[in-house]
Amino acid sequence: MDMFAMSNLRSTDTGVEGAVIWVSVGEFSGVDLQHGPRIKVLQGSKITKEGLMDAVSVRLTDPPQILGDIPAKMERQIVAFINLNRNTLLKYWNEEISTREMLDLIERV
């Protein structure tokens, strides 16, 4: 059985207003590897079924690539968050650091 880790970061953790950022370790089992290292962004202050359906993937590329539509202000904040934390997010994605280490290293925008 494949296992994966996920962390939900709220605006108090990230500085991205009105969004929950969902960070995972690697790809989910059985999922097409089309997006590569990425985060998910859910609009709102908590994870809901509807929010998950409307979640936007953001590739951890340089510059970050947003795969979907989000408000311009949120987009700027997400890009800034990724640029500030790309190395930490990639280390977590590649299972080089633990969830605790990732949370300790994340910086707010």
* Apex 14 CA angle, 8 and 17, nearest 5: 100
**Number of domains within the chain:** 1
Can you give the pLDDT at residue 81? 97
pLDDT for position 12: 93
Quote the CA–CA distance of 100 and 52 in Å, as a whole number: 24
User: Residue 34: which domain range?
Assistant: 6-101
Query: Looking at the domain assignment, is residue 53 inside a domain?
Result: yes
pLDDT digit of tens for each residue in the chain (109 aa)? Answer: 344 567 889 999 999 999 999 888 876 544 555 668 999 999 988 777 777 778 899 999 999 999 999 999 999 999 999 999 999 999 999 999 999 999 999 999 9
Query: Does 31 reside within a domain?
Result: yes
Residue 40 lies in a domain: yes
